[in-house]
């Protein structure tokens, strides 16, 4: 979009810019730099040792396991939900979109709590689970479920606006040409949403690996067993192993930076992929 040919006086412009930049440096750049500085404060040796420690490795394994389960499930859910919402008209659609967004507005601690109330010793299914020797809460299944709750909107909310903007002409064209439902999805729809889908997956993955509040409630903090990377960071920090805590935290910060970089690339691609859909009249 063209910028207007009227602008503030130069002094005002510089002033506004300075305020914004100082604010962003204090709130974004300084903390980001601090993570890596603190991580290497005691040298590379301590840094690597903190990552190689068995409890750290166990936490990394559990985090990866959680992501490997939750991300694909939420990916499928996101695509399916976006298909239903973007390609069809039905009553209650707006309500459904709001419901999909609901986990975003629930406090992560409450998200953890609801699973404790469902599967914990005092919960609805608690007695039954105890009787069958199944452990959900303070065990891996609880962590996975809480993470699924927190991350389930990510893919869907990336895809819904994108697919709504693309409309249904392509799918109708494919239908008239004789394509089946699967053929339409794989050959026509999916190539159009690849980048948006990828972005949703990246965000979903970042949150799945980094979720703290919800997981904290359901994990039980058993070292080497139910600790994810963020929980491991917490324990190290609270036990005054600051350098080790930041070393492990730097992994997550790195993940965040990769996420931001991927977002920038993907957003550009997604904009291009939407371009052909803006009809020239």
Name residues contacting other proteins, limited to 23-52 (CB under 8 A). Answer: 23-24, 26-32, 34-35, 38
Q: Is residue 152 part of the contact set for other proteins (CB under 8 A)?
A: yes
> Would you say 65 or 253 has its CB closer to other proteins?
253
Provide the minimum distance between the beta carbon of 23 and other proteins in the complex, in angstroms, as a whole number: 5
Residue of 64, 65, 117, 139 that binds other proteins (CB under 8 A): 117
Query: Is residue 239 a contact point for other proteins (CB under 8 A)?
Result: no
Binding span for other proteins by CB under 8 A among 46-54, 96-104, 128-136, 157-165:
96-104
Candidate list 61, 124, 239, 271; residue touching other proteins; CB under 8 A = 124
**Closer CB to other proteins, 20 or 57, in the complex:** 20
If binding is defined by CB under 8 A, does position 115 make contact with other proteins? yes
Least separation in angstroms between residue 222's CB and other proteins is 14
Q: Which of 184, 197, 244, 270 binds other proteins (CB under 8 A)?
A: 184
Q: Which of 96, 161, 241, 269 binds other proteins (CB under 8 A)?
A: 96
Query: Binding to other proteins by residue 222, rule CB under 8 A?
Result: no
Give the chain as a DSSP string.
Answer: -PPPS----HHHHHHHHHHHHHHHIIIIIHHHHHHHHHHTTTHHHHHHHHHHSHHHHHHHHHHHHHHHHHHHHHHHHHHHHHHHHHH---TTHHHHHHHHHHHHHS-HHHHHHHHHHHHSTTSTTHHHHHHTT---TTSHHHHHHHHHHHHTHHHHHHHHHHHHHH-SHHHHHHHHTT--HHHIIIIIIHHHHHHHHHHHHHHHHHHHHH--HHHHHHH---TTTS--HHHHHHHHHHTT-HHHHHHHHHHHHHHHHHHHHHHHHHHHHHHHHHHTTS---
Q: Of 46 and 118, which CB lies nearer to other proteins in the complex structure?
A: 118
Site for other proteins in 192-211 (CB under 8 A): 192, 203, 206, 209-211
Minimal distance in Å, beta carbon 208 to other proteins? Answer: 10
Within 240-259, the residues that bind other proteins by CB under 8 A are 242, 245-246, 249, 252-253, 255-257, 259
* 16 binds other proteins, rule: CB under 8 A: yes
Residue at token pair 């609901």:
102
């Amino acid at each position: 979009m063209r910028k207007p040919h009227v602008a503030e006086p130069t002094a005002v412009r510089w002033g506004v810019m300075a305020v914004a930049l100082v604010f962003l440096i204090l709130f974004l750049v300084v903390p980001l730099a601090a993570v890596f500085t603190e991580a290497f404060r005691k040298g590379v040796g301590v840094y690597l040792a903190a990552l190689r420690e068995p409890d750290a490795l166990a936490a990394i394994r559990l985090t990866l396991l959680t992501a490997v389960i939750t991300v694909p499930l939420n990916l499928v859910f996101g695509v399916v939900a976006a298909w239903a919402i973007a390609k069809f008209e039905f009553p209650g659609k707006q309500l459904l979109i709001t419901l999909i967004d609901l986990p975003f507005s629930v406090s992560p601690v409450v998200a953890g709590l609801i699973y404790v109330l469902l599967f914990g010793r005092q919960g609805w299914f608690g007695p039954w689970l105890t009787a069958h020797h199944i452990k959900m809460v303070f065990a891996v299944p609880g962590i996975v479920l809480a993470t699924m709750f927190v991350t389930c909107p990510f893919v869907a909310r990336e895809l819904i606006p994108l697919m709504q903007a693309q409309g249904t002409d392509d799918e109708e064209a494919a239908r008239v040409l004789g394509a089946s439902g699967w053929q339409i999805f794989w050959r026509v729809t999916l190539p159009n949403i690849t980048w948006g889908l990828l972005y949703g997956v990246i965000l979903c993955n970042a949150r799945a690996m980094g979720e703290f509040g919800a997981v904290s409630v359901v994990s039980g903090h058993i070292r080497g067993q139910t600790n994810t990377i963020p929980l491991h960071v917490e324990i190290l920090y609270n036990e005054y192993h600051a350098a080790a805590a930041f070393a492990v935290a730097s992994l997550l910060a790195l993940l965040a930076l990769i996420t931001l970089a991927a977002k920038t690339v993907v957003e550009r691609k997604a904009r291009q992929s939407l371009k052909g859909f803006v009809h020239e009249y």
